[in-house]
Amino acid sequence: MEATASMALWSLRCNVDLQVRGFAARSGFGVAHFSHPLARCCSPVSLQEATDFVILCSLPRYQMQHVTGIGGFFFRAKDPTAVARWYKEHLGVDLVPADYNQRPWSQEAGPTVFAPFPIDTDYFGDQSKSWMINFRVRNLEAMVQQLRGSGIEVTVDSEIYPNGRFGRLYDPEGNPIELWEST
C-alpha cells in the first residue's frame, strides 16, 4: 500500500511539474520563479503540498499589462500657442497636428527615465514648478550653441556622469528643461 501511495505522489509530482512548465511557457514566467518544491519533478513532497500546488496552478493566469512608452506630455501654459512655437523653433518639437490626417511629433527610440522627486527637491530650480522634462540630444555642445545663438541661456553641468552629460534651460514660462547627451 505504501508503495502505491508513493507511486501516486511521484506521478502527481511529475504531472504537476509538466503543468508548471506549461504554465510557465504560457504565462512568460520561468520555472525558476516557482519556489514550491513541486516546481522540480520528483522532489519529496507531502500530499498536502501537492494538493496546495495543484490548486495554485489552477488559479486564473495573470500577466501584468504595462505601458509601452509616453504618448504625450501635457502641461498648463499662460500662452500655449507661444510656448508651443518656442518648443518647435528651438528644440524641434512639432506642434500638435491640426487634424487626424497629420502625424504628431515622434521621438527617436531610447531610454526614458520616469522619476518622481521629493516635494521639496531643488533639482527643478523654482519651487513652484512641479515638473521638468528631459530631452535626449545627440550632441549637447551643438544644441547648446544653437540655443545660445538664439539668446537662450543654457547652463551645462561640467561633470560628466556615467550615463552622460547634461544641460539646463527654461522655456518662456520658466519651466525647467534638461538636455541629456547619453554616453
pLDDT digits (tens, 9 = 90+) for 49-74: 766 666 666 666 778 888 778 888 99
CA–CA separation, 36 and 29 (whole Å): 14
Q: State mean pLDDT over 7-26.
A: 48
Compute CA distances 30 → 34, 95, 121, 136, whole Å.
8, 45, 40, 35
The predicted structure's pLDDT at residue 67? 78
Is residue 89 scored above 60 in pLDDT? Answer: yes
CA–CA separation, 53 and 47 (whole Å): 10
Residues with Cβ within 8 Å of residue 134, at least 6 apart in sequence: 113, 177, 178, 179, 180
CA–CA separation, 154 and 168 (whole Å): 6
**DSSP code at position 42:** T
The predicted structure's pLDDT at residue 60? 67
Name the residue type at position 156. Answer: V
User: Terminal CA-to-CA distance of the chain, rounded, Å?
Assistant: 68
The predicted structure's pLDDT at residue 69? 81
pLDDT in tens, 114-123: 999 999 999 9
Q: State mean pLDDT over 25-48.
A: 49
The predicted structure's pLDDT at residue 53? 65
Confidence of residue 92 (pLDDT cuts 50, 70, 90): very high
Structural domains for the chain: 2-58 (no CATH), 80-182 (3.10.180.10)
In terms of DSSP bridges, do strands 164-170 and 155-156 run parallel, antiparallel, or are they unpaired?
Answer: antiparallel
Confidence of residue 16 (pLDDT cuts 50, 70, 90): very low
Global pTM reads 0.62
Percentage of the chain beyond pLDDT 90 is 53
The predicted structure's pLDDT at residue 65? 81
Greater confidence, 120 or 24?
Answer: 120
Name the residue with cell 502641461: 75
* E strand residue ranges, 4-160: 133-136, 155-156
